[in-house]
Amino acid sequence: MESLRLTSLSWEELNALLAEWGERPFRAKQIWSWLYVKLARSLEEMSDVSAALRARLSAVALPLMPQPLAHQIAADGTEKWLLALLDGAQIETVYIPDVDRGTLCVSSQVGCTLSCSFCHTGTQRLLRNLQAGEIVEQVTFARAELAARGLKVTNVVLMGMGEPLYNYDAVVKAVRILLNGSGLAIGTRKITLSTAGVVPKLVQVGWDLGINMAISLHSVRDAVRDQLIPLNRKHNLAALQEAIRAFPLKHGRAITWEYLLLKGVNDSLQDARELVQFIGDIPSKVNLITFNPWPGCPYEPTSRENTLRFQEIICQAKIVTVIRDSRGADIAAACGQLRSECGGGVREVVAGR
């Protein structure tokens, strides 16, 4: 039998596998609980699973969690792990603590193909898609690590390395595992998927998952957005707007528009007015993001004064607008910095339990 990644199995697939092996149905419940409630790091911890079944699983099952290579903690409490996958590839996962929640930013690909000009992550070539279990294991790993210090993962955002909608099947399967009420039990309101605008999959993911949607927008002028997000040349703003209007938005939810303010590029008051016009009557929230410069980048962050003026125009249109604090920039854990090499002046904990 081929190697088995238990965390890539849906609830139905786990039940089917164990039934094929002649195991009774309660065994699936036991294993599911060990994986997603008790957060077992190894099969040996599954003490109420029969020795014979553990031995059979051990013969084919892959490790239950990735190997941490490094762990950094920023001055604001943001944490970042560099995780090694079984083939030697590496990804980064970020935890952002807040007063009433703990948000985990997970990756969906090793590298990225989008080549967004403002994003340091996008300067790294795509190595491969992550498997569903490799996405799920970022959550189980972080929950296990943080629980030992009394911290919780309450929210998950698919905003790490990669474009989630370019790894559609694995992302959908992983999110369904996160949603399962007998395991990790993270609700649809607590999971957000961010896309640069992969229009053909955008509406479909809404029907398939019912989670929150964030759009990496950054300009409502095609000429500007073409430069910032080359994907716009394939799926332009008109196509993106049409898809969002068809998105199955649940009652009381809103589309989140991510807007990175770049000095002299997209931060004029006219840009703000055009953003309001683009949004129109779509239930929306706008996140204004501070740019995190990186070596060799051609952009500069807009001033705080200009950010406030930009925000005021959006607020006047009765659109909820938040200036999103840059979290973890001192450990290169902020927006667009994952797997980059800028940062410093932080507490660093090298993994090695």
Q: Consecutive 10-residue runs of the chain (353 residues): their mean pLDDT?
A: 91 98 96 98 97 97 97 93 96 94 96 90 87 98 96 97 97 98 98 98 98 98 98 98 97 97 98 98 96 88 96 97 74 48 34 31
CATH class of 6-60: mainly alpha
Residue 345 has what pLDDT? 32
Residue 138 has what pLDDT? 98
Residue 195 has what pLDDT? 98
Domain 67-349 has CATH 3.40.710.10: no
Residue 292 has what pLDDT? 86
Annotated catalytic sites, by residue? 92, 335
Residue 286 has what pLDDT? 97
CB 154 within 8 Å of CB 190:
yes
Residue 344 has what pLDDT? 32
| Residue 92 to residue 332: CA distance in whole angstroms | 10
Residue 352 has what pLDDT? 32
Say how many C-beta atoms besides its own lie within 10 A of residue 280's C-beta. Answer: 10
Residue 338 has what pLDDT? 44
In the chain, where the domains are located: 6-60, 67-349
Residue found by looking up tokens 């009557």 in the block: 281
pTM for the whole structure: 0.92
